[in-house]
Each structure stands twice: as structure tokens, then as C-alpha cells.
Homo-oligomer: A and B are copies of this chain.
Amino acid sequence: MQLGVIGLGRMGQIVVDRVLAAGHDVVAFDLEPEAVATAADAGAEPADSILDLLERLGEDKRIWLMVPAGEAVDATLDELEGHLDGDDVVVDGGNSHYEDSVRRAQTCEGAYLDCGTSGGPAGAQLGFSLMVGGPEWAYEALEPAFDAVATGPAGHERMGPAGSGHYVKMVHNGVEYALMQAYGEGFELLHEGRYDLDLEDVASVWNNGAVIRSWLLELCEEAFREEGTDLGTVADRVEGGSTGTWTVQEGLEQEVPLPLIYTALGERFGSRADDGRFSRRLANRLRYGFGRHEVPRRE
């Protein structure tokens, strides 16, 4: 098949490479000419504009967007407007909010597939996990590309109608926050606890047969191997949080309690309180108020 790829950042380039490696044709475009050149070196047909990409694609266009979630997706779709018909298919492989995907599916002239993509840069070798929402026929039309980009046929699945792919990916990320924090609690306790442990050894033996073995635990093992058992100079301010926030918001709307995901998200928020947590500062003053405990002061 022939696939147009718009957006050639780290993830987009992996899509290009894997689709090419599967024997398909790729037409590639990015706002950065250097990224297009890289794709061309890998074997893709370069396009110097979206219009150029559209012209290079034949009938029944299949276009994969790998641009940052948000305005970049809408801007790209605006440029595609007027150039697609009902036999064309657009895939959004980024981390869009599912409600945006529902809206875009309604207005896109072609069929629209929202495709949650998990696996990170490691997917370059292994392939990704793809959660796809949208019309059945469009999903089937893209299967050769999904087979190539995913870990294989088992690595992609149509979840349901428009938005469901990004919806499932949103929840995936919420769970991811909680899993990271769960391992973090365990290793923090081992680090602070009674024994002088080699945490790489702990992670390694757990990864070999223990109930809690996982890919994230393999990444923990790698972290301790590369940074040392005390994590060396790694700092504790944690950025990010948008997909976790979306997950919690959806939990509020569905009235489903998500205390672990919420707590994991809150840890990130709390890590960024540069002036100290106000609630703790108030607690200190209250402890003085009722018990005359000395108030600790900033220097």
C-alpha cells in the first residue's frame, strides 16, 4: 500500500521506517525540510507541502498524522480540507483528546481513525500497541500499515467508533501513572528501609518470574543499572500530566473513583510546588495554634 505520513518527529520517523520495512510505499512531509530529508534517505518519497503530498498519493488516499496533539492536528486537517473524499482515510496517531477526535471525525471529509499509540521510542524495534477508533472499513483499509507499525497483527485492534481509540489510550496513560507510582512506592520503601539493598538486583529478580514483572519494571531495572541504586543525580520534580488529568476528569464525569491514578497525578503536581506546599505550611501554623509547637521558618 501507499501511505502518506505528515509529521516526522521521532515517532513519525519510526512510522515511516516500519512501514517502509514492511514493503510499502511512503510519501512523507514535515514543516522541517531536514526531517523530510531524513525520511527520504530512509526510502520515502519526499513531499514539500501537504498539497504536494496529496498529489503524490493516488486515489483512496491513506494519510497518517503524527503531529503534536492540539492545534497542530487542526491546522493540518484545515489544510487537507477540500482535498479529501469519502474513500480517503486519515489516521491521527498522536495523543489527542478523544473529544477532539469525535469532533474531527464529524467534520473530516474522509474517514477518520483516531489511533492511540503506546510503546514510546522503544517501539522502533518492537513495534507499537495501537488502539484504533472509527469506521470498520477504514480500519481494515489501513490494516497493512497497522500491521507494520504495531508489534504485528496482535498489536492493533479496533476499539469501537470515533474517539474510542484515543479514549482507551487516555485510560492507558492514567493506569501508567499509577503503575509508575506503585513501583516508586515499593522502591522508595526499599531504599529508605532496613536493608542495604541493590535495587537493580531486586528489579532483576522480580523481572524473572515474579507476579509484578512488567515492561515498566524492566525500565526500573535499566534505571538502577544506569543511574545507580540511589538514582544518582536524578531530580524529583516531575513534569507532564495532561493525559492523567483527562483520565481523572472522565472518572469524575462517570462517577468512577480513581484514587490511585489521582494520587499519582497529584504527586506530580506536588513535586512542582517551588515555594513549599501551602497546606503543609498552614499545618505548621495550626500546630502552633493548638499545641504551641514551634513554627519552622524559612531562612
**A contact residues vs B (CB 8 Å cutoff):** 10, 118-123, 126-131, 150-152, 154-157, 159-161, 163-164, 167-168, 171-172, 174-176, 178-197, 201-202, 204-217, 219-220, 222-223, 227, 231, 233-241, 245, 247-252, 254-272, 276-287, 289-293, 295-298
Contacts and interface: CB of A to CB of B under 8 A. Distances in A.
26 contacts: A10-B292, A118-B210, A119-B210, A119-B211, A151-B209, A154-B205, A156-B205, A168-B195, A171-B193, A176-B212, A178-B185, A182-B260, A184-B283, A189-B254, A189-B258, A213-B214, A214-B214, A231-B285, A234-B296, A236-B277, A239-B293, A241-B255, A259-B262, A260-B260, A267-B280, A268-B280
A285 B223 CA distance: 6
B211 A215 contact: yes
Q: How many copies does the complex hold?
A: 4
Given A118-B209, A120-B211, A278-B192, A286 B223 contact: yes
Contacts of A205: 129-131, 154-157, 159
A291 B219 CA distance: 11
| Residue among A156, A174, A245, A279 facing the most chain B CB atoms (10 A cut-off) | A279
Contact of A298 (B151, B233, B295): B233
Contacts of A279: 181, 184-185, 187-188, 267
Nearest to A189: B256
B175 A182 contact: yes
A234 B269 contact: no
A187 to B, nearest CB: 6
Given A231-B278, A289-B219, A182 B192 contact: no
B282 A231 contact: yes
| Residue among A219, A286, A296 facing the most chain B CB atoms (10 A cut-off) | A286
Contact of A281 (B235, B270, B280): B235
A293 B240 contact: yes
B118 A184 contact: no
Contact of A208 (B151, B161, B266): B151
| Residue among A164, A179, A209, A287 facing the most chain B CB atoms (10 A cut-off) | A209
B182 A182 contact: yes
| Residue among A164, A211, A271 facing the most chain B CB atoms (10 A cut-off) | A211
A269 B297 contact: no
Given A167-B194, A189-B247, A219-B286, 18 more contacts: A118-B211, A120-B292, A156-B205, A157-B202, A159-B202, A161-B195, A163-B195, A167-B193, A171-B186, A172-B206, A178-B186, A181-B260, A181-B279, A182-B182, A215-B290, A216-B290, A219-B289, A234-B298
B219 A159 contact: no
A230 B291 CA distance: 22
